[in-house]
Structure formats: structure tokens, C-alpha cells
Chain A
Amino acid sequence: MALQDVCGLHNSPLFPQWSAPLSRSFMPENSTHLSGGGIHGEAFSTRLPGRGGLSPLEFYMPIAEYLTESPINFGQTSLTSAPTKLLEIDHLHPSLPSISLPPPTPFPVSPSVPLPFTLSHGTTTLGFAFQGGVIAAADTRSSCSGLVACPASPKVLPIHSHLVGTTSGTSADCALWKRILARELRLYQLRHHRRLSTGGAAKLLSHMLHPFKGTELCVAATLCGWDGDDEKHEQPITEKHANTPTNQMTASNSIVRSRSRICGPRVIYVCSDGLRLQGELFSVGSGSPYAYSILDSSVYWGMSVQEATEVAREAVYRATYRDAYSGNNVDLYHVTAKGWRRRERENLKEEYYREKERERRVIAY
């Protein structure tokens, strides 16, 4: 089709490459391959832009085969009469150093091993924006089917100085993807001399997760951040935003209610099935309905930092009270123009007993 040729849209490649520059190919001379240890090399190929970058944004892209293999099979040699998948990988990525493989072991490995236990994605996380910045809060219970695997896991992970992300879903996936996102944001910052906005970070994460749609990857994150200007770099004020306060790292209470496009608090929900929503209040996880009911009635834009902390803590507490998969402690982060600040982790058991004591006293009188 003429239109396709003009747009450079070729017949759909085997896997959609969102950031693919038109000249995308696996040319060894263009790519600097970071060869890690191990027999399988790296699970991705990174391209360091030698000459000003081939495309506007280069980021992590997964290798095709790893999307179709079950994660349990990762790293196992499969017994087949056909040539092993490892050799196919070599063929598709000539940038990989040629490695000599041991002959496939004659173990009877079934092609797709089911997961040994059902994973439940239980958690309560929330994030909301108000005049004083952004509050991100979460419980700390990592559950695995009916077992509490870890009572003190951090579910709010800082990504950079002005961005934290709450995680929900599979803990390992969330931790990994947060690190990948942090790396890509840092690379962006180094290349372009400014921090990527929260919306940009959300879009980046969403596009990086898109190839894994349909697999068992499960990440539901709320990115809570403050978009502002770096100290060294002043953004030019366009006419549209001439009346909004920009490029000032002022105290948070001078931010106007009408959201400026350039700087201010941001909360964006990103999900591994592709949903990406910007808003003012999100709660994610199995305990989210309980948290929503507390937050919807109490959160308003003009609340103070003290109030906001109280409400967030209360919401997580109520959710842990009702939801079996949320519990233990509550982590709370507050993001302002100056960066994020972490409130000390609080054990909700104390709060539970305090409430029981209050009730007991009320009944007694």
C-alpha cells in the first residue's frame, strides 16, 4: 500500500516494535552488546546511541522467545528432537557472542510446567495528590496463596528523587520493572539534561510492559511524582501558561488549584495490561475497595499535610482490617517539590489494639 510505504509501515513484524526506528536491525556494528555472564547472555539487547541516537527514545525491548516460553522453563534446556531454542536465539541475534553449548541433557522436561502454586496479588496501595504534594501509602504484606511470605516488604519504591511508585501484583515483577524504569529514567536524564515528567515515565513504563501483554506478568503501579524544573534548566514560559507559576521550586502551598501543565503533583496509574490513567486519587490491590471508601469521603484538594497523612494511614489500616491479603505495617511517602520524604514504617497491630481498647471503653460506659 502506498500509504504504508510512505509511513514506513511494513507488513506487521512478528512482534510490534513500538520504539523501532525505521532502520532497526540487528547490525552488530551499530550495537554495543553488554554481554553478561551466563550461558544465555543478557535477556535483552541494549543499544548505546553512538551518533546522537537512532530514534527519539530507545529503551528496553524483550527478546521474542522469552515471551512464549513459560517462566518456569527459563534457563532449562529442553529435550527435543528439534534444534534447541538456544541455537535459534543465536541465529536471531548475531550480536550475541557465539557460545558453545553443552548438548541438551536427556532429562524429560515437559514443555510447559504449570506454576507450582497459585499466586494471589493481595495488597493495598494508594496514591493521591493534594495541595501539599502527593501521598503514596501501602501495606507491607507479601502473600503467596494463603501464606504470608514476608510481613515487611516495601511496596512503595522510590524511583528517583521526585518520583515514587507503589507496586501491586507480582512482587518480583514489580521490583524488577521499577529498577528498569529507574534505569531508563536516569539514562533519559543524562541524555537530555532534564528529568522526564511523571506522565512521560508512565508512558515509558506502559510501552515497555506492552510486549508482555498476555503473559503472566502482572504489574499494577501508581506513579506518584512531582513535575518541576531542574535547578539548572529553566523552561521557557509559553503564552498558554503565562499566567501559571512555573520554574519555581517554591513551597508547596503556593501551587494554584488549577493544575499547571508544567509543574505540580501527579498521580498516574499504570497496569501491565496496558491501562494508563492520570488522576488525583488511585488505590490498587485487593484491599482497594476498602481504601476507596475511606478516601473518597475524606480527600480534598485543600487538605493539610497532617490531614493527608492521617487519611492515608487510616485508609490502609481499614483495608488491612478487612482484607486478608493486606496487613502488617504501613509505609507512607510524601512527595513535594523538594523530593520525597519517608515516614517511619508503622506497625498497624498497635492501631488495631488501640481501637479495640477504645471500643471496649465505650462499651464499658
Chain B
Amino acid sequence: MEYLIGIQGPDFVLVAADNVAASSIIQMKHDYDKMFKLSEKILLLCVGEAGDTVQFAEYIQKNVQLYKMRNGYELSPAAAANFTRKNLADYLRSRTPYHVNLLLAGYDETDGPGLYYMDYLSALAKAPFAAHGYGAFLTLSILDRYYRPDLTREEAVDLLKKCLEELNKRFIMNLPSFTVRLIDKDGIHDMEKLPHVSFPSPPQTSD
């Protein structure tokens, strides 16, 4: 019922998540933010079982911040992704496994942008584009067809909009709005919530 999507460009990563927090048949919140800021240039998108998402994501978030406090520099996205995966794997065969699906998006000075796909069995894959949730079944083929490694920011937003249009058309659940963020060398930028925007908007620096 929840949906995450990420698209990596040559020098940026675009990520979006739906805004619904549901409990059985009721939408309890319409403006719920599923993205967790791990550091200045890393975002963790987390969906899955009700309490596990926030507990696990905040745990990772605080540990990444602790690393920065102890060492004076931030973790790279690749390191953060592997750290997250290791934690998921450790808890997987314990009494309290975390049932969470994650996307980790970040920008590294040396390696450039990176998008990492992780699922609840702690599989980790670096991918140019990825999606989680039932909506992924509907949108992955759109991404397959139209994705190019040299997308511009506007084209990436257009591609994202194509995916969200498809969801509105065919997905049984009503997902009225999505939070969209873009990460590049300047940090994390909030973009306008979709699908209210009717024309592509350039990223606004808000951090």
C-alpha cells in the first residue's frame, strides 16, 4: 500500500514517497513523511511494518550522526547503505526481525550520486532506479522503458510524473500526494509535492 521510488541521474538522485499513514482501513495521516535524513547528503526512505519503520530508521539515523560526531566526517552513502544492511541482517534471524523495505539515496564527493535498494531480507543492490511497494509492479516497466543514464533534472521529474500518473490510473489505493526530494552536490532539496504541480519546477534550495 506504500510506495517509494528513486531515480539516479548523472549528478543527482531524485526520490519520492507517498504521504499516507494508514491503519487497517483508515488513513490516519495524509502528510506523513517517510524520508529520514541521515546526513547532509543522504536520505533513507523506509516503508514496511508499522512500528518497525520508524524504530529502525531512527536507529540508523542516530548511529550515522553518532559516527559523524565521533570522527568529524560523515559516512559515505555506500558505507551507510552497507551499515544499514548489516543491521538488518543481524536482526533478521533474531527474535525481533525488522520488516522494512528501504531506499537509500545519497551523493558522495568522490563517487557521485548513488541509489541503494534494500529489502526486508537485507538484500542490497545499487541500482539506477528502484521502487518499493505494490506500485512498483506498475511503474518499473515505465522506468525500464524511459530511463537513460544521462537524464536531466527536468526529465527525471517528468519520468517520475509518468510513474505517478500510472499509479493514479491503475493502482487500487488512493495515494493523493507524494513528497519529492532531490539530492545533489549541494545537499537535499525539497521539491513541490506531486501531483499538484502542472509544470516541471526547478529544484529549490531549502537546506
Contact = CB atoms under 8 A, between A and B. Distances in A.
Interface stretch (B51-59, B120-128, B129-137, B189-197): B51-59
A274 B63 contact: no
Contacts, number: 67
Interface in A312-327: none
Nearest to B51: A274
Contacts of B29: 277, 279
B33 to A, nearest CB: 11
Contacts of B53: 274
Given A1-B86, A12-B91, A14-B95, A273 B49 contact: yes
A277 B28 contact: yes
Given A3-B67, A6-B70, A271-B23, A276 B54 contact: yes
A101 interface: no
Given A1-B86, A11-B90, A274 B55 contact: yes
B21 interface: yes
A4 B79 CA distance: 12
B67 A275 contact: no
Contact of A9 (B50, B63, B70): B63
Nearest to B66: A7
Interface residues of B, number: 29
B78 to A, nearest CB: 12
B172 interface: no
A45 B67 CA distance: 30
A3 B90 CA distance: 14
B23 A275 contact: yes
A206 B26 contact: no
A207 B56 CA distance: 12
Contact of A206 (B51, B71, B95, B96): B51
A35 to B, nearest CB: 28
A252 B119 CA distance: 47
Q: Is the interface of A mostly helix, strand, loop or mixed?
A: mixed
B147 interface: no
Interface string B85-96: 011001100111
B142 to A, nearest CB: 31
A210 B55 contact: yes
A7 B32 contact: no
A16 B63 contact: no
B36 interface: no
A271 B91 CA distance: 22
A301 to B, nearest CB: 15
Contacts of A271: 23, 50-51
A186 B83 CA distance: 37
A28 interface: no
A18 B91 CA distance: 14
A274 B98 CA distance: 12
Contact of B21 (A206, A207, A214, A277): A277
Nearest to B27: A292
B51 A213 contact: yes
A207 B55 CA distance: 8
Range of interface residues on A (Cβ < 8 Å): 20 to 34
A362 B142 CA distance: 59
A98 B113 CA distance: 59
A165 B28 CA distance: 17
Contacts of B21: 275, 277
A269 interface: yes
Contacts of B50: 271, 273-275
B83 A16 contact: no
B99 to A, nearest CB: 11
Contacts of A14: 94-95
B26 A289 contact: yes
A288 interface: yes
Contacts of A292: 26
Contacts of A15: 95-96
Interface string B75-112: 00001000100110011001110000000000000000
A145 B71 CA distance: 56
Nearest to A68: B95
A282 B21 CA distance: 12
Interface in B1-37: 21, 23, 25-26, 28-29, 32
B71 to A, nearest CB: 7
A117 to B, nearest CB: 23
A29 to B, nearest CB: 28
Which 8 A/B pairs are nearest by Cβ-Cβ distance? Answer: A274-B51, A275-B50, A12-B90, A273-B50, A273-B51, A277-B29, A279-B29, A7-B63
25 contacts: A1-B86, A3-B67, A3-B79, A4-B86, A6-B67, A6-B70, A7-B67, A9-B87, A14-B94, A15-B96, A18-B59, A206-B54, A210-B55, A213-B51, A214-B96, A271-B23, A273-B51, A274-B51, A274-B54, A275-B23, A275-B50, A275-B54, A276-B51, A277-B32, A289-B25
Interface of A: 1, 3-4, 6-7, 9, 11-12, 14-16, 18, 206-207, 210, 213-214, 269, 271, 273-277, 279, 282, 288-289, 292
Given A206-B55, A210-B51, A274-B49, 4 more contacts: A7-B66, A210-B55, A213-B52, A277-B21
